[in-house]
């Protein structure tokens, strides 16, 4: 029987738009591909987990929308300690990682909408993403 992930207390403490760019070249193409990247990092001193979403729309191998957003989540000291496997390794349960990534994807979707408001790019929205494809196992992060 699979053990249910423990509940972890957290709050979203910062949102950072690392990158946003649009390029007119590919906007009128009929074949549009999306590329999505998901990543995590931690700040042990401040009990922070960072969840990043990188979203790229391209037409015929030419990017026309590129956005990367990082959301920073602060856990309680007690709950962050549960994730520490040593002073050099953190393990984020897959269910919790998916939850944080979903929040980050929704945040990215909103930022994309706001940044493209009243432009021709506004008709290209960020589709829903099945994060199960990206996050199957617990996320292990080695601290340098």
Model pLDDT, residue 29: 64
Q: What percent of the chain is modeled with pLDDT above 90? A: 62
Q: pLDDT, tens digit, for every residue of 66-84?
A: 999 999 999 999 999 999 9
Close Cβ partners of 59 (under 8 Å, ≥ 6 residues apart): 25, 26, 27, 28, 29, 31, 32, 33
User: pLDDT tens digits, residue range 69-124?
Assistant: 999 999 999 999 999 998 889 999 999 999 999 999 999 999 999 998 988 787 77
Going by C-alpha positions, the residue among 35, 110, 39 that lies closest to residue 65 is 35
> Could you please report the per-residue DSSP string of 22-83?
E-GGGTT-S-EEEEEEEEEEEEGGGTEEEEEEEEEEEETTEEEEEEEEEEEEEEPHHHHHHH
């Amino acid at each position: 029987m699979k053990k249910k992930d423990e509940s972890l207390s957290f709050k979203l403490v910062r949102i950072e738009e690392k990158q946003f760019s649009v390029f007119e070249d590919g906007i009128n193409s009929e074949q549009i591909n999306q590329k999505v990247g998901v990543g995590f990092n931690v700040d042990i001193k401040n009990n922070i987990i960072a969840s990043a979403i990188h979203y790229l729309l391209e037409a015929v191998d030419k990017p026309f929308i590129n956005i990367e957003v990082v959301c920073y989540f602060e856990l309680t000291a007690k709950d962050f300690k549960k994730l520490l496997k040593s002073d050099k390794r953190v393990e984020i349960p897959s269910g919790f990682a998916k939850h944080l990534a979903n929040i980050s994807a929704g945040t990215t979707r909103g930022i994309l909408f706001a940044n493209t408001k009243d432009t021709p790019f506004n008709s290209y929205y960020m589709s829903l993403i099945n994060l199960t494809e990206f996050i199957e196992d617990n996320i292990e992060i080695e601290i340098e």
